[in-house]
Amino acid sequence: MEYLLKNGKKVLIRKPTVEDAEAIINVMTTADTETLFLARNPGEFCTPVEREKQIIENVLADDAVEWFVAEYDNKVIGQCSVGLVRRNERYRHRAGVAFVILKDYWNLGIGGRMMEECIKWCREHGIAQIELDVVKNNDRAVKMYQNFGFEIIGTKENALRYQDGTYADEYLMVKKL
């Protein structure tokens, strides 16, 4: 779906196609050098293009998960995913979400629009609660999640260990639908 942003420009939030594989790889590898708030060290994401295309096809064929890319100025500049935390019947009311946007495009409202698409998917799939982990001092992300009604329900100490030997805690945040 296309959204108007606060800077007057538009962002298209849509499902990926296999043609997006290289752009998605670029978002992941670049983002890992731009922020300490993601799961990987720079260089750790090294999925080859053909494998990425397969992953896109698999996700598109899977009812339990959805993937969105953000297209801005005809370029893929971010992505997010939403999906069941586990497929067993007892867990099918719970979904997880994850977001990444290239630094040049932060604070335009794109993350919020991606969240709207994820929440829509959750409502359509009978999800009762949405969950995520976020690095404790990732103020921008925590603010965005709180704007959407997510609450901090716990803290995982030393969840991440960085290359310099320091650690980061993570909040577990949950939104009930």
Ligand X SMILES: CC(C)(COP(=O)(O)OP(=O)(O)OC[C@H]1O[C@@H](n2cnc3c(N)ncnc32)[C@H](O)[C@@H]1OP(=O)(O)O)[C@@H](O)C(=O)NCCC(=O)NCCS
Phi first, then psi: give them for residue 109, nearest 5 degrees.
100, 5
The answer to the question of residue 3 lying near ligand X (CB under 6 A) is no
The answer to the question of residue 111 lying near ligand X (CB under 6 A) is yes
Exactly one of 67, 121, 138, 175 binds ligand X (CB under 6 A); which one? Answer: 138
Angle (deg, nearest 10), helices 49-60 and 21-34: 110
d(CA 96, CA 108): 23
The answer to the question of residue 109 lying near ligand X (CB under 6 A) is yes
Q: Which of 87, 60, 82, 68 is nearest to 27 (CA)?
A: 68
The answer to the question of residue 110 lying near ligand X (CB under 6 A) is yes
Stretch that binds ligand X, among 94-102, 121-129, 148-156, 157-165 (CB under 6 A): 94-102
**Site residues for ligand X, window 141-160 (CB under 6 A)?**
141, 143-144, 147
Check if the beta carbon of residue 35 is closer than 8 Å to that of residue 103: yes
Exactly one of 47, 112, 136, 159 binds ligand X (CB under 6 A); which one? Answer: 112
Q: Which residue is nearest to ligand X (CB)?
A: 111
The answer to the question of residue 96 lying near ligand X (CB under 6 A) is no
The answer to the question of residue 95 lying near ligand X (CB under 6 A) is no
The answer to the question of residue 100 lying near ligand X (CB under 6 A) is yes
Exactly one of 51, 75, 86, 140 binds ligand X (CB under 6 A); which one? Answer: 140
DSSP assignments along 86-145, one per residue = --SGGGTTEEEEEEEE-GGGTTSSHHHHHHHHHHHHHHHTT--EEEEEEETT-HHHHHHH
Exactly one of 28, 118, 122, 134 binds ligand X (CB under 6 A); which one? Answer: 134
Nearer to ligand X, 21 or 144 (CB): 144
How many CA atoms within 13 Å lie on the side-chain side of 140? 15
Check if the beta carbon of residue 131 is closer than 8 Å to that of residue 96: yes
Q: Give the footprint of ligand X on this chain (CB under 6 A).
A: 35, 37-38, 99-101, 106-112, 132, 134, 138-141, 143-144, 147
